[in-house]
Chain A
Amino acid sequence: MSHAAITRRAAVGMLAAAGAGFALFGPRPDSDRAARGRLVIDYWEKWTGHEGRAMQHIVDRYNQSQDRAYVRYFAMAGIDQKSIVAIAGGNPPDIIGMGNFSVPAYAESGAIMPLDDLAAAHSITPDRYAPAVWPMLTHKGRLYAIVNTCGALALFYNRAAFRDAGLDPDAPPRTISELDACHERLVRQSADGRLERVGFLHMEPDWWTWHWGYYFGTSVLTPEGDAAADHPANIRAYQWARSYPQRLGVERTLRFQAGFGFYGTPQHPFLAGQVAMTNQGPWLANLINAYKPDMDYAVAPFPVHDDFYDPDQPAGLLDSDVLVIPRGARHPEEAFRFIAFTQQPENVEFLSAAHCKNSPLATSSADFLASHPNPFVRVHAAVASSPRAFIFPRMRTWEQYVAEFNAAMQRIWRGNAEPAAALAAVRRAGQSQIDEARAAAARRATARAGSSGGAGRGPGSAG
């Protein structure tokens, strides 16, 4: 017993010593050594894995191209939130990569720097980009972000499944009613009634629960920036969305969805043949190339409501990732040098191709289009440059508004709410968020005017 105690204590001591040793002399971030006295530029991004490696490649190129600055690339999930907290904490990185929908909120709260002067100095101008791109970078007339990559959503459809269901694989649906018809034909179930394949499901993926009205010719905001979630066309769109689980059976549909593999795995439902059509960005082709290279599929613009159809003006969401410089960044000018480097056409095209996205530039090189991993990149590019390409609404309270949409879509999808009622609730909640933000901004303006020249309280003054 006492022997055991002694050896046990020795073991604890050894464990503690090993732990302390590792803590004190263990691994350090290896980029610290690589910087070698150069100015260190911290760049936070959300991309890990394959996409992260492509961005890292650009960073490496930049680090080799000059010896003043050394860019350190950090990638992680939840970057938006981490970085805003870091800005508030007074310890932000120099560059943040974020979704363009965050730009209005960041800009209005003063979290990110206006870049007009720096961009002009590096001759980064609107005409270099596709027309829908620049509005994603600006807020109230000022430039706050530079585009990193962008992608336009379109309809991926499984040609083999079309053939199997007796549909023409060269005639993808162009309108909502054609989509409905294809979907009906594509539904397949097992002998015991389980779903094996469907044509289309609005919740696969569930990344853009707010955007269905856009294919019915409306938006979620009025031109004045007020909430318009329950615009009649929106209600029609969500009634349409709800009809899918209702006709398939809600319980059955949910159970079917629960068996879907995650994005990024070979079990992804489009690859696995469970969903024959999906509204996705060009990047889905990367997944197909990796896990199912011989899959017979094609891409077409996403169908729109029959009254709204125009073959020359495809509609679709143009999403983009942007680079911003946070307030309190230590080296904004050096940071922008790197951002400008990423905007050189060969770098833009390298990154876009590696991420399997269409290019944000106004024109793409023939080589880019020809060697792109997505053989249908031209479809995505056409959507991106169409006048009906739409972007995330530019509003400060987007995070909250979209949360309302996500919750409402869940209820609608599960048959727990009528679309009209659910969307009216979204509008009310969204509008009160908007009003609240406006009131706060007015209050703040008054407070500023009142205390002008007074004690200039810094942000986060702890008293």
Chain B
Amino acid sequence: MSRAANHAGPATDRFAGQRIPPTLVGLLWISPWLAGFALFMALPIALSLAYSLTDYPLLESPVWIGLDNYRALFSDPLFARVLLNTGLFTLMYVPASTALSILIAVLLNQRVPGLWAFRTAVYIPSLVPVVASAMIWLWLFNADLGLINLALRVLGLEGPNWLGSPAWALPALVIMSLWNIGQPVVVYLAALQDVPRPLLEAASLDGAGPLRRLWHVTLPMISPAILFNVIVTTINTLQVFAIPYIMTEGGPDNSTLMYSHYLYNNAFVYMKMGYASALAWVQFLVVLALTGVLWFASHGLVHYRAA
């Protein structure tokens, strides 16, 4: 590789007689990624499209059935259910986490003593492995002995049977997911620190109070970061798997069965690879479409600074 790569610099080309085209050199350098992309991304995507047109119980060979899997989606009540659950979860989580992380970032951007400790406390939960988070929150949400209900009892309230009740299980998962917002907070904090001081000072001189400065200056200035984070959070939330899988196994009464979990069940529990692949393609298209919509819809709202 090193010798071939040598030829990109014409001034010092030692093998002028047999120069290798730069495109080839470039491809050679990125060849690990090319191979990985072909084998572990492009091929699976193509295979998944092909499988989605077959009946493929994993242990037996695939049999072509055309669009039957896609047709079956429409009459599958669980498909409707997981769409609803995942949609609800996303609708609850994305706005809540965005608002909360901006709020916390704004607080953390103030000059107060002990800032390091506060930042660390907020950031650390996002490092906790998801399985450990699930264990911790299973314990905290325990209806009888969990810290949350114990604390509520101290306040004279009777907490619900969080994970055991179809009404509360999904909100409980949203609450625990809000524990894990270290990453967006760090991002918003970095964005806040990039807000030009003169702008804020000017607003201040014009008599704008802190809240008005936040609303009219700071938020517009960090809106690209917000947009980007909302997109990333939405995409990630639409794929949520581990937390409901470990904590509620989709229950009670399918109230927390998420799209990726249902896909996983079809592929690896029911062994319906064909149907799972159809689900996968629908998910893929939904994520693409949503990304596009979010992107274009918010172009008017987002303030981009001149580069």
Which residues does A use to contact B, with CB under 8 Å? 81, 84-85, 87-88, 109-111, 254-255, 258-259, 327, 399-400, 407, 410-411, 414, 416, 429, 440, 443-444, 447, 457-463
Contact = CB atoms under 8 A, between A and B. Distances in A.
29 contacts: A81-B268, A85-B58, A85-B268, A87-B59, A88-B58, A88-B271, A109-B60, A110-B60, A111-B59, A254-B165, A258-B143, A259-B143, A327-B59, A399-B269, A407-B254, A410-B251, A414-B253, A443-B55, A443-B63, A443-B65, A444-B55, A447-B61, A457-B61, A459-B58, A459-B61, A461-B62, A462-B47, A463-B47, A463-B50
Given A84-B271, A255-B161, A259-B143, A444 B60 contact: yes
Interface string B60-92: 111101000000000001000000000000000
Nearest to A84: B271
Contact of B63 (A84, A111, A327, A447): A447
A462 B56 CA distance: 12
Contacts of A81: 268-269
A202 to B, nearest CB: 16
SS class, residues of chain B in contact with chain A: loop
B214 to A, nearest CB: 34
B144 interface: yes
B164 interface: yes
A399 B47 CA distance: 27
A407 B253 contact: yes
Given A410-B252, A440-B55, 17 more contacts: A81-B268, A84-B59, A85-B268, A109-B60, A110-B60, A254-B164, A258-B144, A258-B161, A327-B59, A407-B253, A407-B254, A410-B166, A443-B55, A443-B65, A447-B61, A447-B63, A458-B61
A109 to B, nearest CB: 4
Which 5 interchain pairs have the tightest Cβ spacing?
A258-B143, A258-B161, A109-B59, A410-B253, A88-B58
Contacts of A109: 57, 59-60, 271
B164 to A, nearest CB: 5
A88 B59 CA distance: 5
B37 interface: no
Contact of A399 (B50, B253, B270): B270
B163 to A, nearest CB: 10
A447 B253 CA distance: 38
Contacts of A416: 253
Contacts of A88: 58-59, 271
Contacts of B164: 254, 258
Contacts of A447: 61, 63
A90 to B, nearest CB: 11
Contacts, number: 68
B49 to A, nearest CB: 12
Contacts of A259: 143-144
Interface string B250-275: 01111000000000000011110000
Contacts of A458: 61
A462 B273 CA distance: 12
Contacts of B166: 410, 414
Contacts of A463: 47, 50
Interface in B27-60: 47, 50, 55, 57-60
A461 B56 CA distance: 11
B60 A459 contact: yes
Nearest to A437: B57
Nearest to A399: B270
Give the size range of B's interface with the partner.
20 to 34
Contacts of B59: 84, 87-88, 109-111, 327, 459-460
B131 to A, nearest CB: 14
Contacts of B252: 410
B48 to A, nearest CB: 12
A255 B57 CA distance: 41
Contacts of B57: 109, 440
A436 to B, nearest CB: 8
A87 B60 CA distance: 11
B15 to A, nearest CB: 40
Contacts of A400: 270
A457 B63 CA distance: 11
Nearest to A259: B144
B35 to A, nearest CB: 16
Contacts of B143: 255, 258-259
A100 B127 CA distance: 42
Nearest to B59: A109
Contacts of A410: 166, 251-253
Contact of A460 (B58, B77, B144): B58
Interface in B157-203: 161, 164-166
Interface string B85-123: 000000000000000000000000000000000000000
A300 to B, nearest CB: 31
A444 B63 contact: yes
Nearest to A428: B77
Contacts of B58: 84-85, 88, 459-460
**B55, B59, B65, B252, most chain A CB atoms within 10 A:** B59
B132 to A, nearest CB: 18
Nearest to A455: B61
Nearest to B142: A258
A327 B55 CA distance: 21
Contacts of A111: 59
Contacts of B269: 81, 399
B58 to A, nearest CB: 4
A87 B55 CA distance: 18
Contacts of A440: 55, 57, 63
Contacts of B161: 254-255, 258
A411 B271 contact: no
A212 B77 CA distance: 25
Contacts of B268: 81, 85
A411 B253 contact: yes
B162 to A, nearest CB: 10
**B47, B143, B253, most chain A CB atoms within 10 A:** B253
Contacts of A399: 269-270
Contact of A461 (B55, B61, B144, B271): B61
A144 B63 CA distance: 26
A458 B60 CA distance: 8
